[in-house]
Each structure stands twice: as structure tokens, then as C-alpha cells.
Amino acid sequence: MSIRFDLRGKRTLVTGGGSGIGLATVELLAGAGAAVALNHLPGDNVATSEVQRLQAAGLDVTAAPGDVSSADSVSAMAAGVLGAFGGLDYLVNNAATFATKEPIPSANLDAIDEQFWQSVLSTNLVGPFRCTRAFAAALRESKGAVVNVASTAGLGLPGSSIAYGASKAGLINLTQNLARALAPQARVNAVAPGHVVTGWTDQWPKARRDYAAEKSLLKKVSQPRDIAAVIAFLCAGTDMITGQTVAVEGGYLLG
């Protein structure tokens, strides 16, 4: 994908960067000249292969293994990134978990136990806070930007589970408060994707996938690169947007 931004000299971390929206964002930002640290879970061989592929293509991408659901892991990962880059310009908090292979109906409360809540909230909500706090000083110094990847499930639409929707609604609120916390030096925004073609949604029945496209005004669903383009804009394309959440869902909310 082409991008009009010249990001040479910019330092970026994308969490959960080994696949889907995260990988598309890594490719887009690195393709525009940024040095990108691709965060992935330790031991993720697929993500490691993606880093090698991007490096072979001449892009400035390095691996930054770490688990955002763990405070200690985030601290170690942040130390490594700051040691390598000497600072940070853009942080993309994309790492998240559904904690389920299939959407869980809202009425099925018994499926949402304490462990499920802990897994989802620690990754999807506390994880972005951990990462932003770890890089706050660097982002203030560079007058940088944070982009959190939320979801239309955080805007009231059904998500993969009650816990997932709550985590993304919390992330939207966290985005507003982090914008206050990092102002005036750095900006914090969020993107809220609707249905995105990923390995997770590819497993859904065709009727469910078709419904998402038919209900949207544009009669199609997003590709990861569509979300990545908005993330890039919120990082580098504006100096006057902060505390906002941009829904990228082809008009599904109006359909």
C-alpha cells in the first residue's frame, strides 16, 4: 500500500504485530520509512518468520517479543525497544485476545468465568495502559502519538463476548483519559474496526460473513490494510486530533 507520509527517522512500536491489523500496520509504517519494532508473544514462530520476511524486503523491522498481559514482560520489552531506538515516536496498542474461537452469545453468562475476564481485560485493557505508561516519557519527549485499536464492540455492537465488548469500551474511555494525561506534548487516539478479514473471522460461516458486508453502507468489509491506513493517519497525518475514536466499518453502524 502506498502512503503519502515520509516516516524516515520515526521510531514505532506495534504490539500484536505478527498478523492481521498489526502486521498490516507494521508493513505500512515501515514501508514509509519508519523503524518499527514488531511486538509478538515470546515463542511465536509465525511472527518471527514475518519479521525475517520484512527484513529481507529491506524494511527496518525488528522483533520485540513480550506479553502485554504481564507487567514484567512489558517492562522488559520497553527497555529493549528504548535501548535500541533511543526513544519512541509512535505507539500502536494493537495486541488483543478474544479468548474464544467462536462468539459467545450474551445470554450465555456461564461461559464467561473469572479466568476468561482476567485474560481478556489484562490483555485488551490493562495491556495498552501498561505499554503507554512504559513509553510515556519517550512519547512526550518526541511529541509523538499513541493509537489504540478498539472495536465497534466497544461502541455498543455485539462482539465476540461480553468481556471483549467491555474491554474495548474501556479502551475507548482509556484513550480519552490518556489523551489528557499525555497532553499537550503527545496525542492519543483510537480506531474502532468493524468486521475485518482476518484468520479469526475467516473461520466464521459464510452467512455470518456475508451479513456483515450486506448491512454496511459500502457493501463490503474491511481488510487489515484499511485499518492500518487510519492508524497511520492518526500517527502521522494530523497534529490536532486527540482523545478521539474513529470507527472504520464501512457504514455498518448506519446500515
pLDDT tens-place string over residues 231-252: 999 999 999 999 999 999 999 9
Helix or strand (DSSP H, E) at 47: helix 45-56
**Does 90 qualify as catalytic in the annotation?**
no
pTM: 0.95
The parent domain of residue 56 ranges over 11-254
- Please check whether residue 1 lies inside any domain of the structure: no
- Please check whether residue 17 lies inside any domain of the structure: yes
pLDDT tens-digit profile of 47-101?
Answer: 999 999 999 999 999 999 999 999 999 999 999 999 999 999 999 999 999 999 8
Range 5-11 average pLDDT: 96
pLDDT tens-digit profile of 155-205?
Answer: 999 899 999 999 999 999 999 999 999 999 999 999 999 989 887 676 767
User: Edge to edge, what strands does the sheet with 11-14 contain?
Assistant: 61-65, 35-40, 11-14, 90-93, 145-149, 187-193, 245-248
CA-nearest of 66, 34, 30, 33 to 50 is: 30
- Please check whether residue 3 lies inside any domain of the structure: no
Q: What is the pLDDT of residue 200?
A: 66
Q: Half-sphere exposure of 180 toward its Cβ, with a 13 Å CA cutoff? A: 4
Burial of 157-186, coded b for 16+ CB within 10 Å and e otherwise, reads bebbbbbbbbbbbbbbebbbebbeebeeeb
- Please check whether residue 6 lies inside any domain of the structure: no
* CATH number of the domain residue 212 falls in: 3.40.50.720
Please pick, among 90, 164, 211, 252, the residue that the annotation labels catalytic.
Answer: 164
- Please check whether residue 4 lies inside any domain of the structure: no
What's the domain count of the chain? 1
Cell of 191: 480506531
Range 20-37 average pLDDT: 97
DSSP, residue by residue, 183-227 = TTT-EEEEEEE-SB-STTGGGS-HHHHHHHHHHSTTSS-B-HHHH
How many Å apart are CA 166 and CA 155, to the nearest integer?
A: 10
For the chain, the average pLDDT equals 95
Q: What is the pLDDT of residue 2?
A: 52
